[in-house]
Structure 1
Amino acid sequence: MLTDVFTLAQAEKEERLRGELIGLMAHHRRNCPPYDRILAALGAETEPATLADLPWLPVRLFKTRKLASVPDDEVIRVLTSSGTTGQVSRIHLDREAAATQSRMLARTLGAVLGPRRLPMIVVDRSGVVGDRRSYSARGAGALGMVNFGRDHLWLLDADDRPDVAALKDFLARHGDAPFLIFGFTFMVWRYLYEVARDHGLDLSQGILVHSGGWKKLADQAVDNAEFRRRFAADSGLTRIHNFYGMVEQIGTVFLEGPEGGALYCPDFADVIIRDPETWREAPVGTPGLVEVLSTLPTSYPGNVLLTEDVGVVHGVDDGHWPGKRFSVVGRLPRAEARGCSDTYAGGRS
Structure 2
Amino acid sequence: MTFALDYGELFEAGLFSLAAPEKRSLHARWLSALNSHHRGLCPEYDRICAVLGDGVPVPVRLFKELDLMSVEKGAVAKTMTSSGTSGQRRSRIYLDNDTSARQTKALSRIVSDFTGERKRMPMLVVDAEGTVRNRSMFSARTAGIRGFSMMGRDVTFALRDDMALDWDSVEAFAERHSGERVLVFGFTFLVWANLVEEARSRGFSVEMEGVLVHGGGWKKLADRAVSPAEFAEGVLGVLGSGVRPCDYYGMVEQTGSICMECECGRLHASVFSDVEAVDPATMLPVPFGAEGLLVTTSLLPTSYPGHVLLTEDVGAVLGEDDCPCGRRGRYFEVHGRQKGAEVRGCSDTYEGR
| TM-score, shorter chain, exceeding 0.5 | yes
The percent of aligned pairs where both chains have the same amino acid is 45
* Map of 2:72 onto structure 1: 71
Question: What is the correspondence of 1:39-118 to structure 2 with a 5 Å cutoff?
Answer: 39-44=49-54, 54-84=55-85, 85-113=87-115, 114-118=117-121
Structure 1: stretches of 5+ with no match in the other structure: 45-53
Instruction: Report the Cα distance in structure 2 between the residues aligned to 1:256 and 1:102, rounded to whole angstroms.
Output: 19
Q: Deviations over 1:261-314 (max 9, x none)?
A: 210001111001001122110101110101000100100011000000001111
- Aligned residue for 1:252, secondary structure, equals coil
* Map of 1:290 onto structure 2: 294
Q: Deviations over 1:10-44 (max 9, x none)?
A: 22111100100000000011111111111122342
Matched, 1:248 2:291: no
* Contact map agreement 1:3 1:111 (CA 8 A) in 2: no
Question: What is the correspondence of 1:306-325 to structure 2 with a 5 Å cutoff?
Answer: 306-319=310-323, 320=325, 321-325=327-331
Instruction: Report the Cα distance in structure 1 between the residues aligned to 2:13 and 2:34, rounded to whole angstroms.
Output: 24
Q: Deviations over 1:126-181 (max 9, x none)?
A: 01013223111111111111111111211111221111112111111113210110
* Map of 1:146 onto structure 2: 149
Count of residues in correspondence between the two structures: 337
* Map of 1:179 onto structure 2: 182
Summarize the Cα distance change of 1:276–1:42 in structure 2 as closer, same or farther, 3 Å threshold: closer
Task: Choose the corresponding residue for 2:219, options 192, 215, 237.
Answer: 215
Matched, 1:5 2:7: no
* Map of 1:330 onto structure 2: 336
Instruction: Report the Cα distance in structure 2 between the residues aligned to 1:89 and 1:304, rounded to whole angstroms.
Output: 15
Q: How far did residue 63 of structure 1 move?
A: 0.3
* Contact map agreement 1:7 1:322 (CA 8 A) in 2: yes
Moved more, 177-186 or 76-85: 76-85
Letter in 2 for 1:329: H
* Contact map agreement 2:181 2:209 (CA 8 A) in 1: yes
Q: How far did residue 191 of structure 1 move?
A: 2.5
Summarize the Cα distance change of 1:274–1:76 in structure 2 as closer, same or farther, 3 Å threshold: same
* Contact map agreement 1:292 1:304 (CA 8 A) in 2: yes
* Map of 1:134 onto structure 2: 137
* Map of 1:202 onto structure 2: 206
Q: Deviations over 1:61-94 (max 9, x none)?
A: 0000011000001111000111224301111111
Q: How far did residue 201 of structure 1 move?
A: 2.0
Moved more, 190-199 or 319-328: 190-199
Summarize the Cα distance change of 1:206–1:174 in structure 2 as closer, same or farther, 3 Å threshold: same
* Contact map agreement 1:164 1:195 (CA 8 A) in 2: no
Q: Using structure 2 for the length normalisation, give the TM-score.
A: 0.91
* Contact map agreement 1:310 1:328 (CA 8 A) in 2: yes
Instruction: Report the Cα distance in structure 1 between the residues aligned to 2:12 and 2:211, rounded to whole angstroms.
Output: 20
Instruction: Report the Cα distance in structure 2 between the residues aligned to 1:66 and 1:86, rounded to whole angstroms.
Output: 16
* Map of 2:6 onto structure 1: none
- Aligned residue for 1:179, secondary structure, equals strand
- Aligned residue for 1:284, secondary structure, equals coil
Q: How far did residue 202 of structure 1 move?
A: 3.2
Q: How far did residue 4 of structure 1 move?
A: 5.7
* Map of 1:122 onto structure 2: 125
Q: How far did residue 238 of structure 1 move?
A: 4.2
* Contact map agreement 1:313 1:325 (CA 8 A) in 2: yes
- Aligned residue for 1:296, secondary structure, equals coil
